[in-house]
Chain A
């Protein structure tokens, strides 16, 4: 459901009386979808002006619709990069704040919100405020990771990182099974600022968890040479996956092909930022209209204190339930951030693509029960199926978030399909 989308360069003018904002709609879940077809949703993508950039400090202030595609295109050649990037560059600053996104460097850099210095917001009572870690901190930390439910973000100020070159020095290692994978991930964390990996969870038995661990850092000038990476297409995957064809067979084929592409056990070398950070942007067609997607994602984090066996058990459960998944991304997370509903906590995050079928609700329920048992939680931006009682059980911080909502939007004017489902807002 798109709702009544309002598209404008001027967010201040159009936001009064609207219930939700939307960036580029890259969230897999229902958080950027309205609860009701008549609800007015403001799309921010035309509000994409950079308001100020200070090259002596890297501090950038931009309107909420500035996207990472644009920032990378314009700033990376000049040696600046966002402190945190998700696995797609088709996201806006507003969306990055609302989901408090994490990247391959979470174990060293935390989430995006940790780098934000100020937000300009339109609140539910139509007033405009400026908040940050020091000004109205309750509003600020409820908004960071708050899925758009505390107010409309109009402008975002954060600090860009200075990078040594526009290239990544990457090391890809092939691992045989999940145990080896988790060991390798642990071993890489202190040595590499960026790590992530892909594993095969369709293959059953001893090959379960075979995969590739990708580690990287910004290349030095000497390693990179003078050439600028060309824009354009990301790395080509060996198999093209139309969304409707995702089944055990194609997934198995995909994983095998991807696995064996890395025929050597370790490959090192230069990669472009597109190849390293955004391998999916080249193969997935996302502009297909909201709510019509045939697949979704499930992402959870299993706390470190639950032990490695908890991750193994989760993967076994996932395999048993048969939620076909060509892309199981496993990443270690650093400590929990300050965002009241921010997703990561110290442990292992698992993200899997899932085809939407009538059985999916049952699969998600079963996975959530496991996550609750081990003290983990799910990532709201990817979620469309979690039950409210399950979310309450996995989120001890929820009362603090709801208290902030009560303070800043007592009438619950701001709402989404997700907030109706999870927090019982009126549709």
Chain B
């Protein structure tokens, strides 16, 4: 596999990049800041089954004008990538955004609008070379309007629908779209929050994601228990959702 990981410097993206190089795949990193990319690239080289060097380019999801150049760099380093994994996204609590509407604007822009724009760039390139894999991290938060993750969840809900339509439209052309819906995973993103039951670890998620990519699945709930949890949450009537704080 010739994979690009946007967000591969931390959390679940890091765990996925590490697993890819350990099994011998080539990896290119996108994200920021540059110092962090450089450190992660060194880690991937040390772990690579064949000692291959990992390259990187800076990409900020708030700056769509830089997308094409960053993807050019990835194509050049990998001699045309065939796989794109997007884990980068923002998170903020309702309280943080209540006081800071600018933060809210940035979050919905990064997580929805700019991620979709980025995927459109990637889609074009992959389709032009006969297909490939596009794996994007959405969230179980996009399944139901829940009090603690309302705005964030709505950005992920939009993303999930976009990815579903992308799969419907381009699957026949060889584009394997995977929409990953993690439940609560213990990463830097959720560090200040109290982990609920069934909270997962990045390593476990990475294993699930690679298996789902290899099996060409369109949707993945991970850790698996969250598929059941969300099944129940989706069934809860509105008067219950108004009462509970989950």
User: Residues of A with Cβ closer than 8 Å to B?
Assistant: 6-9, 46, 48-53, 55, 60, 70, 73-74, 77-78
Contact = CB atoms under 8 A, between A and B. Distances in A.
13 contacts: A6-B191, A7-B188, A8-B191, A9-B9, A9-B10, A46-B187, A50-B47, A51-B42, A51-B43, A55-B51, A73-B22, A77-B49, A78-B49
Nearest to B186: A7
A46 B22 contact: no
B18 interface: yes
A7 B42 contact: no
Given A7-B188, A7-B191, A9-B10, A74 B39 contact: no
Contacts of A51: 39, 42-43, 46
Contact of A46 (B11, B39, B42, B46): B11
B39 A49 contact: yes
A46 B43 contact: no
A46 B49 contact: no
B222 interface: no
Contact of A49 (B11, B22, B42, B51): B42
Q: In the A-B complex, list the 6 residue pairs whose CB atoms are closest, starting with the nearest.
A: A53-B46, A49-B43, A50-B46, A74-B47, A7-B191, A50-B43
Given A9-B10, A46-B11, A52 B202 contact: no
A46 B40 contact: no
A47 to B, nearest CB: 10
Nearest to A78: B49
A52 B191 contact: no
Given A8-B188, A46-B187, A70-B18, 15 more contacts: A7-B188, A9-B14, A46-B10, A46-B202, A49-B42, A50-B46, A50-B47, A51-B42, A51-B43, A51-B46, A52-B46, A74-B22, A74-B47, A77-B49, A78-B49
Nearest to B187: A46
Contacts of B202: 46
Interface size bucket, B side? 10 to 19
Nearest to B9: A9
Interface in B44-93: 46-47, 49, 51
Contacts of B187: 7, 46
A258 to B, nearest CB: 30
B31 to A, nearest CB: 12
Contacts of B42: 49-52
Contacts of B40: 49
Interface string B1-20: 00000000111001000100
B179 to A, nearest CB: 25
A60 B46 contact: yes
Nearest to B47: A74
Nearest to B189: A7
A78 B49 CA distance: 7
Nearest to A287: B201
Nearest to A67: B203
Most chain B CB atoms below 10 A, which of A48, A49, A50, A73: A49
Nearest to B18: A70
Contacts of A8: 188, 191
Contacts of B43: 49-51
A68 B10 CA distance: 19
B197 to A, nearest CB: 11
Nearest to A6: B191
A375 to B, nearest CB: 43
Contacts of A48: 14
A9 B51 CA distance: 24
A267 B232 CA distance: 53
A401 to B, nearest CB: 33
A70 B46 CA distance: 12
A46 B188 contact: yes
Contacts of B22: 73-74
A16 B153 CA distance: 33
B128 to A, nearest CB: 34
Contacts of A6: 191
A321 to B, nearest CB: 38
Contacts of A70: 18, 47
A55 B186 CA distance: 33
Contacts of A60: 46
Contacts of A49: 39-40, 42-43
A302 to B, nearest CB: 39
Contacts of A77: 49
Nearest to A77: B49
A268 to B, nearest CB: 31
B191 to A, nearest CB: 5
Contacts of B39: 49, 51
A136 B240 CA distance: 61
Nearest to B43: A49
A311 to B, nearest CB: 40
Given A46-B202, A49-B39, A9 B188 contact: yes
Interface in B173-204: 186-188, 191, 202
A46 B191 CA distance: 11
Nearest to A5: B191
Most chain B CB atoms below 10 A, which of A9, A48, A52: A9
A67 to B, nearest CB: 9
Most chain B CB atoms below 10 A, which of A8, A51, A52, A74: A74
A388 B22 CA distance: 46
A340 B40 CA distance: 35
Contacts of B47: 50, 70, 74
Nearest to B21: A74
A60 B191 CA distance: 29
Contacts of A74: 18, 22, 46-47, 49
A8 B11 CA distance: 9
Most chain A CB atoms below 10 A, which of B43, B49, B202: B43
B237 to A, nearest CB: 33
Contacts of A7: 186-188, 191
Nearest to A66: B43
Contacts of A53: 46
A400 B47 CA distance: 39
A78 B50 CA distance: 9
A77 B22 CA distance: 10
